[in-house]
Amino acid sequence: MNDVIVTIKRPDLMTFTMPIVAVLGAMFGFVTGNIYGSPWIGFLAGAVAGAVVAAVMQKFIKTNSRKKTLSTAVLFGIVGFVFGGVGGLVGGFLIGVSMGWFASWVGTGKYRSGVPIYYTPGQVLWHNSFLFICAFVFFFLIAPLLPVIWLSFNAENFFTFTPEMLSFKAEGYSLKHYQDFLGTDEWMVPLKNSLIIAPVATIISVSLGTLAAIGLSQSHVPGRQAMMAILISPMIVPLIISATGMFFFYAPLGNWLEANLGLNQSFVGYVKVILAHAVLGIPFVIITVTATLVGFDKSLTRAAANMGADPVTTFFRVQMPLILPGVISGGLFAFITSFDEVVVVLFVGSARQQTLPWQMYTGLREQISPTILAAATILVSVSILLLLTVEILRRRSERLRGMSPT
């Protein structure tokens, strides 16, 4: 079978490439001009710079796209360093990478390489516009985290960027807020409480949620849709309402445990918070395990039963290995929910069960300490690692069920 070779025509420089790249340059110039107090001058300068970059890259630089992008980044980085020091160097380099890649992408016609050859210009425009809209949405979701992480290394006790930080000078940065976080009981005790409550609540959530998902996946179970709606309701109901209901339920339960069983008040407090967090985590486990069971071959369990295996053996030897990625994914979501939760702890827990999010909330309300930013950075890092693990397990689950190639 002969391969079909499609040659992408290079777009016209004057009527297409230069105006498009000039628009991007104008956007960067407007933002940069705001920093120096002259947004419209930056807008015009950026437009001219974008047009020049597009013309130079297409007319004179004959290297590959990667070298074109790197050359543009180096040039913009030098200009930024001249006007803004090290901070300008970093900003200029990032702008140069964006401008160089975009000019090469537009100028060589690669914007058509990802769409069918029969697409009209309007369809190509919408396809690429949609991709850029998704990229901007992703950027604006992530962007608020970047200043938090950056400010956590501030050498001063401020929530603002100092001139030394903006200039990337060594004296503007310090790890003292991380030392405060890791070296004081004010933060270590809440962290210890979180590391006690979240794993235990996750174990309960995984155990009950997995059993519930397996039971509700059986078509002969009566009223399973209604039971599913009730079990996942903690995810839908506003958290403040759930917390209020849990307070009126767990407060009498805690008093009964102390009065009738003689349990320690602190231990009862942990029990209440763990059970409350388990309730919040069960919906995540049910949803992920149910999604995993959609592709499960039920003939495997019938075959195991025919071979003499009892239900418990069938579950651990046949079902669990195949649905394990979904179970672990649900457990990770339940862990994140418990570790980051603060509203229910405020209603159900006491000062002895103060968790890390509770301490952060108290710190914001009573004292503004940049140590909160260090704690937030650590939480963000842990969440990112857990979400990456979830994505790896999701792909493994799809491979095991034959939904994606190995």
List the chain pLDDT tens, one digit each, 406 residues.
344 444 556 677 777 788 888 888 888 888 888 777 778 888 888 888 888 888 877 766 555 677 778 888 888 888 888 877 777 888 888 888 888 888 888 877 788 877 888 888 888 888 888 988 998 888 888 888 888 888 888 888 877 788 888 777 888 888 888 988 888 888 888 989 999 999 999 999 999 999 998 888 887 778 888 888 888 888 888 888 989 999 999 888 888 888 888 888 888 889 999 999 999 999 999 998 888 887 777 778 788 888 888 888 888 888 888 888 888 888 988 998 898 888 999 898 887 888 888 888 887 776 677 888 888 888 888 888 877 887 787 777 667 656 555 4
What is the spatial distance between Cα 228 and Cα 298, in angstroms, rounded to a whole number?
A: 20
Domain boundaries, the chain: 13-150, 181-400
Any bridge partners for residue 154, and if so which?
173
Any bridge partners for residue 173, and if so which?
154
What is the spatial distance between Cα 87 and Cα 80, in angstroms, rounded to a whole number?
A: 8
Radius of gyration from C-alpha coordinates of the chain: 28
H or E element, residue 80: helix 65-107
Tokens representing 228 are 């599913």
What is the spatial distance between Cα 376 and Cα 197, in angstroms, rounded to a whole number?
A: 19
Residues 6+ apart with CB under 8 A from 283: 209, 231, 232, 233, 234, 235
Domain 181-400 has CATH 2.40.37.10: no
Residues 6+ apart with CB under 8 A from 229: none
For residue 343, CA distances in Å to 193, 223, 312 come to 15, 32, 38
What is the spatial distance between Cα 161 and Cα 154, in angstroms, rounded to a whole number?
A: 8
* pLDDT attached to residue 50: 82
* pLDDT attached to residue 2: 44
CB 61 within 8 Å of CB 71: yes
CB 396 within 8 Å of CB 328: no
* pLDDT attached to residue 3: 45
User: Side chain identity at 133, as an amino acid letter?
Assistant: I
For the entire predicted model, the pTM comes to 0.72
